[in-house]
A and B are shown apart, each in its own frame.
Chain A
């Protein structure tokens, strides 16, 4: 038997790592991977709560999160390819046309 708090702790650690990667990383692909890490952290807490309250709705929601993540990854990576084609860089510091 594992306490629910352990699962939430692990979920929080993964989400925090995702946030840190989103802020620290300069490569646009790695930033995108950090977003996936955050989604995974949230999914873990969904499944843990589903098991805790003995309801399956949480697991269904994880399924929908995965579907949306798949769609997001496809569109996001296509955008990255388009950016690379026009600007020939993956560094987000050099993609700053909208910056003041």
Chain B
């Protein structure tokens, strides 16, 4: 018997897996980037099914928005063409495909044998959260916010410092070497 919840889960899951496989199959990086965006959008749908509204919104804004725009921008900037096959990649295929299958089978076996018929509740669980209005959804910004700014305040501030360091590092790494009169060094082999 299929519930609406299960049907939506299967639909989003099918999109996510199809996008992930397409990322592997495509040769051109821009096609891989677009299929990765499809995966992330499908995962945002899964988060909504799990009641994680805030995480779903952040997933779309930060991952599918900011990070993937950065990827597409770099692909366009560097004019990345189709990847050429080399001898090294044959070895990687020999280990990669069986490794993927082995990992999938192992995870499937562990998950399917060690779990009963427990289901993930989709609705509201207000009784476990103290200090929030009972009618609010568990994953909404209304409940995430107080948690983030009280219990997890220190990690939150540390991540802001991390972002600052990342910004400065990216600027330093991506800026042109500014030795007057000398062109950037080219390494050829």
Contacts and interface: CB of A to CB of B under 8 A. Distances in A.
Interface string A56-95: 1001101110111111111101111110111110110110
A79 B70 CA distance: 13
A71 to B, nearest CB: 4
Contacts of A47: 46-47, 50, 52, 55
Interface string B4-21: 011001000100110011
B29 A27 contact: yes
20 contacts: A2-B5, A5-B111, A6-B13, A9-B107, A12-B107, A13-B104, A14-B39, A23-B96, A24-B89, A24-B97, A27-B29, A33-B71, A37-B20, A40-B40, A43-B55, A56-B143, A59-B52, A71-B163, A75-B170, A78-B170
Given A44-B43, A66-B59, 4 more contacts: A3-B120, A47-B47, A71-B166, A74-B70
Interface of B: 3, 5-6, 9, 13, 16-17, 20-21, 23-24, 29, 32-33, 36, 39-40, 43, 46-47, 49-52, 54-55, 58-59, 62-63, 66-67, 70-71, 74-75, 77-78, 80, 83-86, 88-89, 92-93, 95-97, 99-100, 103-104, 107-108, 111-112, 115, 117-122, 125, 128-129, 138-139, 143-144, 147-148, 152, 155, 159, 162-163, 165-167, 169-174, 176, 184-189
Chain A to chain B: the 5 pairs with minimum beta-carbon distance, closest first: A12-B107, A71-B166, A23-B96, A20-B100, A78-B173
